[in-house]
Structure 1
Amino acid sequence: MKEWVQIIDKLEEILNSNESFALATVIQVEGSTYRRVGARMLIMENGNWIGSISGGCLEGDMLKKARLTMSSQEVKWVTYDTRDEDPFALGIGLGCNGKIDILIDPSRTRIENFAKQLKLALASENGLELFSQWPLTDGEVFELKEFINPQPRIWVFGNQFDSHSLILMAKQLGWKVMWVGNTLKMSNEIKKLCFKVFDWDNFEGIQSSDLLVQMTHDLERDVEICSKLNEIPDVFYWGILGPQKRLERIKDKLSESQIMLKNGIHSPIGLDLGAEGPDEIAVSIIAEIIAKKNKRDAQPLKLRGKAIHEA
């Protein structure tokens, strides 16, 4: 997700300039590859790039080939087959055991159209299907359909210092952060990382695909927040910091007002990592959310017993 945001930001900067660039797209894979179909790498004429099409072993060679397409202004199809027993058969060290096909496109028009579609998908509530076409040298046309999920939006309720760790990590992943708390007590530096900041009583705009994390360290405040959130149609993820007994106390408090708290709330929040301290707790919360988003059970990969990525 972070790559998508960075690519859009860079394209908005350079599409109105005279700078040449190309967009490399993973279009087909077989076997074990670091990136999957749809991965992109935006390459600028000065040699800088954003995104990736491998774990670092193909990017240098891709840079050279992309510069050639900038000169010819023709789409180039590149295949890397890492299934050969000789890991240096292509002149570069490769760590995977698979085949990857990549299209390098220098067309400003096609790249601009892709950027517009991507921006709409990321800003949508439920994601959108993108459709791309490339003309090949033999007169054929290659087509790619892919589904782009919306940019995750996480709501962090609470302005204690442990909220900083969660906000920093979410921002690092390219998520949009909505911060709710006492705005007078919020760190100005952390505020700058947030998409929106709300005071306790005026938050609004929660969507069904949003992620809600309560970490107020204040029981009465959590009861108030739960009362408001309970009125909102189901959201994708809702978690509350604290032990199970604390959640039961919140439920008891709400029941006094004839409010039955929804099922499915994650509390205690996060995966069982034995996390200690704000940073590790933030890791466990983020990990639980990612596992839910990807419909995984968060077990060790060595126990998965099948391909890491679904076909």
Structure 2
Amino acid sequence: MKEIKDIVNAFNAAQKLQTKTALATVVHVDGSSYRRAGARMLITEDGQLTGAISGGCLEGDALRKARLVIMQQKPMLVTYDTTDDDDAKLGVQLGCNGVISILIEPVDPSLENNPVSFLQKYLSAREPVVLVTVFDMENRQSPQYGTCLLMDANGQTQGYLPQEVGVTVMKDALELLQTNGAASEVYSNHNNYTCFVELLLPPISLIVAGAGNDALPLVAFAKILGWKVTLIDGRPNYNTPDRFPDANRIVAKAEEALTNVLPDNRTAFMLMTHNYNYDIALLQQLLPLSLPYIGVLGPKKRLNKMLDEIAATSPSDYSIENIHGPAGLDLGAENAEQIALSIVSEIQAVFSKLTGQPLKNKAVIHDRETEHVIEK
């Protein structure tokens, strides 16, 4: 999400300078690579790069090819076979042991449905969308249609699909929207064309209750990750824009927290008021919402006491599986910055539906099965 926002901002800046641009997108990965499919990078004709398609080893070659794309105003599909020693001879030297396909598209601002316009549409509303990118991996001389369709949560579309791929892809896009994140990508093949159907979810919304000093690094980390941050605290000398310049919104009254913020299934709530009565009052309101993540600062004994009191006064059949207290992963955190790191790491793992285990314990970093990639 943050990368897409940075790309759109860089594109808008380039337009003001009348600088031509191209968008490079990782559209297919077979084996291992630094970035997975969907990674993007905006390239300007004067060599400015925003985003990333690799760990830095592909960017130079992509820049050279992007300048050709900008000059010809014609999309180009580039494939890097890092299992082949010839790549090292060419100076790419990825060391990833995979085959990476990257589509480089010219971005013509005069066209309503250029690839960046789809990204702008995605950023304009807090809802999931699906992007469809069409390319031919077998014949690079065939038309590379590129990013050609966006479908929003209501099934409304922007752009068009080429006749060669038919209406089946529209069905794939609609089904992907309805998975609620259970699947993230669909690949289907029609008339030699590969259709990359990609689900883009809204950014994580982090609501932090408590504007103490320990909230400062938490809000800062969330901002770096591109999350939307709402800060709740009734103390006017604590919850100020000067103290929290990275907060997207500041709410002064705790009782207005849930009436004005409207949490959804991409919302994480962090209780860190250091006030037992405030925390239990908010927790009682949060439990029926079944949010993906409710974090509670403090020892387990304190949380259990709150849950027991809530159950005694207002018994219900709500689940507590989404409550994380003490919040955070076991990183040996001691100070505010380390605790904030452990909390944002846990939130990221929860929304990614992963465990937060060490990568050395995994056979591969990006497993297509666990990432819910569907091949048709």
Q: What TM-score, normalized to structure 1?
A: 0.90
Aligned mates of 1:251, 1:63 — CA distance in 2: 56
- 2:263 pairs with 1:206: yes
Aligned mates of 2:103, 2:311 — CA distance in 1: 59
Percent same amino acid among aligned pairs? 36
Quickly say closer, same or farther: Cα 1:165–1:259, change in 2 above 3 A: farther
Tell me the residue number matched to 2:305. Answer: 249
- 2:222 pairs with 1:170: yes
Tell me the residue number matched to 1:69. Answer: 69
Tell me the residue number matched to 1:269. Answer: 327
Pick the aligned partner of 1:218 from 271, 275, 279: 275
Do 1:214 and 1:240's aligned partners in 2 also have CA atoms closer than 8 Å? Answer: yes
Q: How does 1:176-187 map to 2 (within 5 A)?
A: 176-182=228-234, 184=236, 185-187=238-240
Do 2:107 and 2:116's aligned partners in 1 also have CA atoms closer than 8 Å? Answer: no
Q: Deviations over 1:265-288 (max 9, x none)?
A: 111111111111111111111111
Quickly say closer, same or farther: Cα 1:92–1:269, change in 2 above 3 A: same
Do 2:22 and 2:70's aligned partners in 1 also have CA atoms closer than 8 Å? Answer: yes
Aligned mates of 1:26, 1:129 — CA distance in 2: 16
Q: How does 1:76-225 map to 2 (within 5 A)?
A: 76-85=76-85, 88-108=88-108, 113-122=114-123, 127-133=128-134, 137-139=141-143, 141=145, 143-182=195-234, 184=236, 185-199=238-252, 200-203=254-257, 204=260, 205-225=262-282
Structure 2 gaps, min length 5: 146-192
User: Secondary structure of 1:70's match?
Assistant: helix
Aligned mates of 1:10, 1:32 — CA distance in 2: 29
Deviates more, 1:6-15 or 1:147-156: 6-15
Aligned mates of 1:259, 1:127 — CA distance in 2: 34
Deviation, structure 1 residue 124: 5.0
Tell me the residue number matched to 1:55. Answer: 55
Quickly say closer, same or farther: Cα 1:296–1:63, change in 2 above 3 A: same
Tell me the residue number matched to 2:354. Answer: 296
Do 1:126 and 1:209's aligned partners in 2 also have CA atoms closer than 8 Å? Answer: no
The alignment yields a C-alpha RMSD, in angstroms, of: 2.4
Do 1:80 and 1:99's aligned partners in 2 also have CA atoms closer than 8 Å? Answer: yes
Do 1:122 and 1:151's aligned partners in 2 also have CA atoms closer than 8 Å? Answer: no
Do 1:123 and 1:151's aligned partners in 2 also have CA atoms closer than 8 Å? Answer: no
Deviates more, 1:269-278 or 1:121-130: 121-130
Structure 1 gaps, min length 5: none
User: Secondary structure of 2:89's match?
Assistant: coil
Aligned mates of 2:71, 2:102 — CA distance in 1: 18
Q: What TM-score, normalized to structure 2?
A: 0.75
Aligned mates of 2:298, 2:76 — CA distance in 1: 54
Aligned mates of 1:97, 1:172 — CA distance in 2: 30
Deviates more, 1:6-15 or 1:116-125: 116-125
Do 2:211 and 2:273's aligned partners in 1 also have CA atoms closer than 8 Å? Answer: yes
